[in-house]
């Protein structure tokens, strides 16, 4: 399938031919509230936690979409209050962003919602820098909302309806937002393809968190659907200490040096066989490998869930290192590395947890999973959108498009 038809397919299937206001779109994912009343702690026993198939991960609690007053879920991120050690899930919804205190899993508290800045949209993305959430959406004219998360400490009579602390309007819609906590820059990506940076990355200085300032951008390689930006500490000594941008740009991976915001430059690009839609990826912690998901290759080519691992030990000459095929044919979405584990949001197959401790020798093993979408494990755009595995407590939060927020933990 050539690039035009692949992108057209992706747009039609997942957007429902949306004009930007999805609030009344009949093609929106329908909430699945018929999966039982399981909301509290349910251990994974004999391959199941209530109605949910599982292996090695318990359900601590969940909040259905109906409690959020939303039609669909999307991205998820997390925040730990350094002053109180309380933990919060920040979940994207079609009509806003929900804030949930997950500190006491026997009593998950939905604190409230920050409504969308303009209209509803199936796409919303959230990242955190210095106790502030930065939120973008595909909604027309949305810009980037800034929300001071310390306000969550003192919520009375939840759930509340919040307002943003700042609104950055240096762009309209954006598919995603990336943060480099080392430098204090956020990078909205996937903006309008005809903007100053061709839908690539906008550089926004948020060192003063409530006062975002435009600092240029990078669009030499076109539209970035998603990206990761790191201060480089990996094995390629030519780039030690540089700020490196890795973009998943629909049909190509791009590596760029964005240290000098006035003069960013391309380091390398790489493609691979059977490209469906180059969607999202994440470095291993030693920055030697980059683990990529292609969102439509399962549909286009009939693969089992395919994860591509690239050798990034030489940033100027990245190469494909290994291809991992999962146990189902479900479409893969967002994936994140924590230590020697890769947490993969695998849509209808839930989250899959991969052991990547022997990635150098091309040995990757699925060590567990939790499937929040019991209906099937077939390719498509239902089920788990994303996963956040970075709480020090070991809690894992996932966002299910159809049925809301799940809080998980590895079984004892």
pLDDT of residue 404: 98
| Alpha carbon separation from 61 to 38, 109, 350, 391 (Å, rounded) | 8, 11, 16, 16
CATH number for 3-410: choose from 3.20.20.140, 2.130.10.10, 3.40.630.30, 3.40.50.410: 2.130.10.10
pLDDT of residue 327: 98
Q: How many CB atoms lie within 10 A of CB 295?
A: 25
The domain locations on the chain are 3-410
Report pLDDT for 19.
33
Q: How are strands ordered across the β-sheet holding 226-231?
A: 226-231, 243-248, 253-257, 265-270
* pTM confidence score: 0.92
265-270 and 384-388 strand pairing: unpaired
Q: How many CB atoms lie within 10 A of CB 218?
A: 25
Which residues, in sequence order, are CB contacts of 270 under 8 Å at separation 6+? 252, 253, 255, 310, 318, 319, 320
Question: Looking at residue 6, what is its pLDDT?
Answer: 41
Q: Per-residue b/e over 97-126, b at no fewer than 16 CB within 10 Å?
A: bbbbbbbebeebbbbbbbebbbbbbbbbbb
Closest residue by Cα to residue 272 from 311, 226, 224? 311
CA dist 306 and 329 (Å) reads 9
Splitting the chain (412 residues) into consecutive groups of 10 residues, what average pLDDT does each group show? 40 38 37 58 97 98 97 98 98 98 96 98 98 98 98 97 98 98 98 97 98 98 98 98 98 98 98 98 98 98 98 98 98 98 98 98 98 97 98 98 98 94
Please report the DSSP string for 337-361 in residue order. Answer: EETTEEEEE-BTT-EEEEEEEEGGG
What is the token pair recorded at 234? 């990996």
Q: Which residues of 250-261 are buried (b: 16+ CB within 10 A; e: fewer)?
A: bbbbbbbbbbeb
* pLDDT reported for residue 397: 98
């Amino acid at each position: 399938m050539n690039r035009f038809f692949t992108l057209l397919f992706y747009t039609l299937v997942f957007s429902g031919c949306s004009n930007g206001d999805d609030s009344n779109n009949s093609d929106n994912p329908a909430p699945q509230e018929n999966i039982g009343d399981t909301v509290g702690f349910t251990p994974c026993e004999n391959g199941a936690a209530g109605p949910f198939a599982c292996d090695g991960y318990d359900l601590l609690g969940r909040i259905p979409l109906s409690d959020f007053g939303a039609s669909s879920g999307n991205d998820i991120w997390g925040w730990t209050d350094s002053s109180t050690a309380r933990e919060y899930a920040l979940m994207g919804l079609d009509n806003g962003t929900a804030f949930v205190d997950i500190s006491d899993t026997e009593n998950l508290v939905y604190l409230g919602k920050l409504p969308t800045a303009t209209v509803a949209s199936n796409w919303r993305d959230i990242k955190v820098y210095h106790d502030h959430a930065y939120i973008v959406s595909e909604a027309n004219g949305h810009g980037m909302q800034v929300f001071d998360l310390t306000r969550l400490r003192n919520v009375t009579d939840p759930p509340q309806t919040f307002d943003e602390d700042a609104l950055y309007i240096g762009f309209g819609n954006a598919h995603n937002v990336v943060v480099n906590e080392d430098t204090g820059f956020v990078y909205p990506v996937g903006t309008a393809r005809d903007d100053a940076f061709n839908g690539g990355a906008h550089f926004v200085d948020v060192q003063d968190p409530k006062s975002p300032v435009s600092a240029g951008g990078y669009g030499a390689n076109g539209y970035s659907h998603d990206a990761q930006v790191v201060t480089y500490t990996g094995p390629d000594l030519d780039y030690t200490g540089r700020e490196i941008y890795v973009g998943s740009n629909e049909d190509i991976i791009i590596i760029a040096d964005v240290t000098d915001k006035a003069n960013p430059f391309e380091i390398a690009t790489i493609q691979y066989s059977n490209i469906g839609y180059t969607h999202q990826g994440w470095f291993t912690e030693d920055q030697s490998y980059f683990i990529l998901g292609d969102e439509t290759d399962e549909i286009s080519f009939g693969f089992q869930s395919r994860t591509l691992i690239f050798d990034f030990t030489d940033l100027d000459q990245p190469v494909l290192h290994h291809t991992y095929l999962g146990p189902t044919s479900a479409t893969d979405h967002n994936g994140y590395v924590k230590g020697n584990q890769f947490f993969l949001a695998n849509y209808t197959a839930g989250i899959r947890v991969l052991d990547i401790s022997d990635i150098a020798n091309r040995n990757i093993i699925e060590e567990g999973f939790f499937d929040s979408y019991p209906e099937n494990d077939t390719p498509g755009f239902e089920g788990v959108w994303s996963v956040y595995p970075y709480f020090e407590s070991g809690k894992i939060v996932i966002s299910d498009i159809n049925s809301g927020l799940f809080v998980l933990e590895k079984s004892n």
